[in-house]
């Protein structure tokens, strides 16, 4: 009778909590010979679809390099950023090499075993606009940001960067409206319509902004950088062995110059140091 009761309880628990009895991440990757990474489909030059309709970019190449070090193939998934940043992946994805900035809220569901590059936040405006010269001109303006991003938190004046909680964040405006978008492409399409149409400015990563401005004369970067933010590899909580292996792999990729080569390829400078 006790044996039956224990068996029934085990079955119930395995149904309700499938990840409790899941194999450790590294063992699963080794057994399946596949690393499942998650990133955004439209975040150039970090991740985007190239002219062959294949995922390409800085983050894609870093993920490929990690998979190569592990001796497995790479599979990339591209759900929305909200899905990525919410966590609770339940084993669907193994790692986010996807330009995630750590925060106190994200630290509740993710571990951040290693930082792999850093880049500051900047303001982008329509090339014809001279009314917004810096974030000090954000009052009453509509600012395009990535949904569930640190840029949205900045506009809402509640940004906390994990590992630098005591860093003072300057908010040089009283009130601005954050307008969240799923992809940068749509964000910049709306900014291109003209200042005040749907957006007044966009807040994004310096590298992304430079890439956009270099290829589209409708936009320009204005003002000084707002704050620096690290970008980290993110994993689900609860697997220290996987975190340790990723830390080792990224250290090897930095030591042998792979990260530097990838950075120069896509950015034209080394942002990994």
Looking at the predicted structure, is the pLDDT value of residue 269 above 90? no
Domain limits, the chain: 22-116+231-266, 119-229
Looking at the predicted structure, is the pLDDT value of residue 256 above 80? yes
Residues ≥6 apart with Cβ < 8 Å to 89: 38, 236
Give me the residues paired with residue 132 across strands: none
What's residue 7's pLDDT? 40
Q: Domain 22-116+231-266, what fold? A: D-Maltodextrin-Binding Protein; domain 2 (3.40.190)
As a three-state string, the secondary structure of 177-199 is EEEEECCHHHHHHHHHCCECCCE
Alpha carbon dihedral 69, 71, 76, 77, in 10-degree steps, equals: -110
Looking at the predicted structure, is the pLDDT value of residue 169 above 70? yes
Mean pLDDT of 123-138: 97
Looking at the predicted structure, is the pLDDT value of residue 58 above 50? yes
Q: Comparing 4-8, 50-54, 155-159, which segment has the lowest mean pLDDT?
A: 4-8
Mean pLDDT of 76-102: 93
What's residue 6's pLDDT? 36
Mean pLDDT of 187-192: 97
d(CA 62, CA 81): 19
Q: Does the pTM of the predicted model rise above 0.85?
A: no
Looking at the predicted structure, is the pLDDT value of residue 11 above 70? no
Looking at the predicted structure, is the pLDDT value of residue 190 above 80? yes
Looking at the predicted structure, is the pLDDT value of residue 242 above 60? yes
Q: For domain 119-229, which architecture applies?
A: 3-Layer(aba) Sandwich (3.40)
């Amino acid at each position: 009778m006790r044996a039956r009761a224990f068996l029934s309880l085990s079955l119930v628990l395995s149904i309700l909590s499938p990840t409790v009895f899941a194999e450790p991440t590294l063992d699963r990757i080794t057994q399946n010979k596949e690393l499942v990474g998650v990133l955004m489909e439209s975040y150039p030059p970090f991740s985007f679809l190239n002219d062959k309709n294949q995922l390409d970019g800085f983050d894609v190449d870093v993920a490929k390099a990690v998979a190569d070090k592990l001796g497995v193939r790479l599979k990339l998934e591209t759900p929305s950023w909200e899905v990525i940043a919410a966590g609770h992946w339940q084993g669907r994805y193994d790692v986010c090499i996807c330009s995630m900035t750590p925060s106190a809220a994200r630290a509740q569901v993710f571990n951040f075993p290693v930082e792999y590059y850093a880049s500051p936040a900047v303001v982008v405006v329509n090339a014809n606009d001279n009314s917004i010269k810096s974030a000090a001109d954000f009052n009453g303006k509509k600012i395009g940001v990535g949904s569930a991003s640190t840029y949205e938190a900045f506009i809402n004046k509640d940004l906390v960067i994990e590992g630098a909680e005591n860093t003072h964040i300057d908010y040089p405006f009283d009130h601005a409206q954050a307008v969240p978008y799923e992809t940068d492409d749509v964000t910049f399409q709306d900014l291109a319509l003209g200042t005040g149409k749907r957006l007044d400015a966009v807040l994004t990563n310096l590298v992304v902004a430079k890439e956009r401005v270099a290829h589209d004369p409708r936009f320009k970067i204005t003002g000084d950088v707002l704050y620096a933010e690290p970008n980290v590899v993110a994993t689900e909580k609860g697997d220290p062995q996987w975190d340790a292996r990723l830390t080792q792999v990224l250290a090897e990729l930095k030591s042998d110059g792979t990260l530097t080569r990838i950075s120069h390829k896509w950015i034209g400078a080394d942002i990994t140091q």
